[in-house]
A and B are shown apart, each in its own frame.
Chain A
Amino acid sequence: MLGYGFRKLLYLPLGILLLSLVSFVLTWMTPGDPVQQRMVAEGVRTSGENLVAYERSYQRLAEQLDYDLPPFYLTITNAALPDTLHRIVQADRRGAVRELALQFGNWPRVQQFYRALMAARLAEEPEVQTVARRLLVRSDPAYLRQQLATLPPGPAAQSLQTAYRDMVDGADRRDLLLPRVYWHGTENRYHRYLMNLLRGELGVSYADRRPVAQKIATALPRTVLLNGLALVLVYLLAIPLGLYMAYYYHSRFDRWATALTFLAFGLPSFWIATLLANYLTTPAYGMGWFPTMGFGEVPPDAGWWDALQIRASHLILPVFCLTYPSLAYVSRHLRASALIELAQPYVRTARMKGLAGSQVLWRHVFRNAAFPLVTLLGGLLPGLLAGSVLIEQIFNLPGMGQLLYDAATARDWPVVTAVVLVNGVLTILGLLLADIGYALLDPRIRLGKLPPR
């Protein structure tokens, strides 16, 4: 058993590694310039007045955030491109230089031209300045030539035009046909990201400059409480319901319960939640029986009974809305598998032995019919987490779902990716627990005689 659990535990680091890759790619894909968004969050003024000061603080922040490092351990790229392209942090400039390098194929000359542009953008003549700043983000040769031709004569313009002519004359596109692999070692962004992740640093929210880890640490326990309560209730209620539905097959009880669970499974929980929130938490219909928002404030001197009452009055509606669809689903599953078990010969044997009905049901049938329930747990977890996005939104509970929703609508990417990551880890943990629990219940799995599922 220990060996089996250990083997399963090995999947955990693997899954987390995979998830970290996914969430890294997500941070990478985020629209907009991450350094600039961070500058806004940090409160650095981004006016175009003083370009030099702006770019200096931009560069400093980029270095601080590791954006001047290569993205991954290795870069697979075209031989015409250098391994230092990532040092240009601004995406539009990097794109333009990349395009130029792919057009002319001769990196040293392209680099010269880029340096000339960088120098000219601080030149004394204002015309040269504006043209250089414009050209830094352009790569279309016709446009470059036309803009360079309009420059007034002078040393700055001269060097710029020479650099451009050198680049065009030195065009050599043979390198384009070759691929090249660069190895960067551990000095790369993903490595730093992963190390930060392992230390529990998830970045800083764009919205309010608080560390993401801190935001998640306040939200996660609430979601876990909500979903944990729902999960416990689901299993506490679904097991007897499902078993007795099967036991009294085709009785009036079974028919009613089947119809009700069918209905409950079809009723979208967010609709019911909306109705409940509209009618039972507002005075609109004279039925404002429940408080509207949050988890409730428990005064420090309250006894446990008062504290329980306050919490319960806030949690009863959301927990109900989270519980009933899963309850219907699990009990129907259990009914189906218990029906199969009840038809087995060993049930008849147990009856002939003289065991009472409830003994047969709970000792013999339940243990065999319960296996699917454990694996259902693994599938329920992602569903519950997703469902709590809406439930938390409707009942104003500041948990993970609310956090995700707020972050997604405010385009607060660090929070979005971190929430996806944490959700993924929770799901992996749930699946793992389900697998181990399954093996605990069923020795056949441990011995590798039956695939789990």
Chain B
Amino acid sequence: MKQTRWAYGFLFFLVAIALGADFIAGDKPLVAQVDGELYFPVLDGTPQREAWSEVPVDWAVWPPIPFRASSLDLSQPGYLPPLSRATGGRGWHWLGTDRLGRDTAAGIVSGTRVAVWVGIGSVLISLLLGLPLGSLAGYFGNDGMRLHRGGAIALLMGLVTGLFYGATTLFALAGGWIFWLLLGLTLVAAWSFWYLLLRGIARWVPWLRTPVGLPIDSIVVVLLEITVSIPGLVLLIALLSYVDRASLWVVVLTIGVLGWTPVARFLRAELLRIRELPYIAAARVGGVGELRLLFRHALPNAIGPVVVVAAFMVGTSILAEAMLSFLGIGVPADQVTWGSILQQSRVEPDAWWLAFFPGLLLTLTLLACNSLRQVR
């Protein structure tokens, strides 16, 4: 715990920067008095003025980095080194500028916001996919959920026929939520039909009455192996090149969907261990239902390590986003991120500050996330 204190501290620091990005870097003053009236431009955005730097204020409190990440300053030669005075005498470029006079420090603050948002967003999506799959696979295994063979076949056939009918005819008939409602009803109807039919037949065919386990674990493990063997970045680049208008949402979604495996794998392993423990058997003997056992007894003990894995995955997601924006794929062109600043340093190797600062932040973030994983 002592070793990871700095890691937690650093990650909280990043989140704080991301939350307070507008107060740290921006071309609007925090507080300004114009003609005897007080304004809080960062907070309310009104009154809409073209540029606050041109407004004759009585007095104003500016953010420590008085620039917006994407605002150009073509009045200066470009590639200003760190700690140089901005033209117009308004503030300092603490970490220098790029070719178009965009402030690096402001870019790093905006990049922090993107990184935190991508990291947390995609890990939430991964958790959304990985938690149910992992817990089902780990807790129920291949024979935890037993059905009569007829029931299992009815479930499968109901799903197949319902989806088949929905895709062919309902899709043509209705759109929007009515389609989903109809689809749900059709699925239920198809399932009930097959269930009743097979129940009738099962009276004469004892084979249908023998109980079988649903192979949930096998299915999830196969899914895991398929997803793991996908070269993630290659697929990400291919998928994102299909997207017409790049947006961060798509990046978050794809990273999140491709990243469910560590969560599921870990949760599955934990639950495989936990479900054999005596206290689960004791609770089961005490008459606790299976679902309640899973949610109340097994999951709370398994979830702690999984959260640590999730924290580790925040690092991988941020790295993936940095790689993508370094390549300029998937992330909007006007969005300044750590990766895009790093990319600019390739044009002008002399501007060491463009390569150094974003890379350093990225490294620290990754180290912080990795060290959470190490001590678990």
Contact = CB atoms under 8 A, between A and B. Distances in A.
Interface in B171-206: 172-173
Contact of B367 (A263, A387, A404, A428): A263
B229 A274 contact: no
Interface in A58-105: 76-80, 102
Interface in A419-439: 419-420, 423-424, 427-428, 431
Contacts of B350: 284
A440 interface: no
B319 A274 contact: no
Interface string B227-244: 011111111011011101
A265 B237 contact: no
Given A278-B346, A389-B234, A416-B238, A268 B319 contact: yes
Contacts of B238: 26, 404, 408, 416-417, 419-420
B283 to A, nearest CB: 29
A271 B237 contact: no
A389 B346 CA distance: 16
B349 A282 contact: yes
Interface SS, B side: helix
B231 A385 contact: yes
A382 interface: yes
A423 B172 contact: no
A185 B371 CA distance: 57
B363 A409 contact: no
Interface centre among B231, B232, B345 (most CB of A within 10 A): B231
Given A262-B370, A284-B349, A420-B234, A411 B241 contact: yes
Interface stretch (B11-19, B56-64, B160-168, B208-216): B160-168
B359 A404 contact: no
B374 interface: yes
B327 interface: yes
B46 to A, nearest CB: 40
23 contacts: A31-B242, A76-B167, A178-B169, A266-B367, A267-B363, A268-B323, A270-B322, A270-B326, A271-B363, A277-B346, A278-B349, A378-B229, A383-B231, A385-B231, A389-B327, A390-B327, A407-B241, A408-B237, A408-B240, A408-B329, A409-B329, A419-B234, A428-B229
B323 A270 contact: yes
Interface residues of B, number: 44
In the complex, the 9 A-B pairs of residues with the closest C-beta atoms, listed nearest first: A386-B233, A408-B241, A271-B359, A179-B168, A382-B231, A266-B367, A278-B349, A284-B349, A266-B366
A379 B228 contact: yes
A285 B356 CA distance: 15
B258 to A, nearest CB: 11
Contacts of A78: 168-169, 172
B179 to A, nearest CB: 13
Given A277-B346, A279-B349, A404-B234, 15 more contacts: A179-B168, A262-B371, A266-B363, A268-B323, A278-B349, A282-B349, A383-B231, A387-B233, A389-B233, A390-B327, A405-B237, A405-B329, A407-B241, A409-B329, A424-B231
A224 interface: no
A177 B355 contact: no
A80 B229 contact: no
A407 B346 CA distance: 21
A424 B230 CA distance: 7
A103 to B, nearest CB: 9
A67 to B, nearest CB: 19
A176 B172 contact: yes
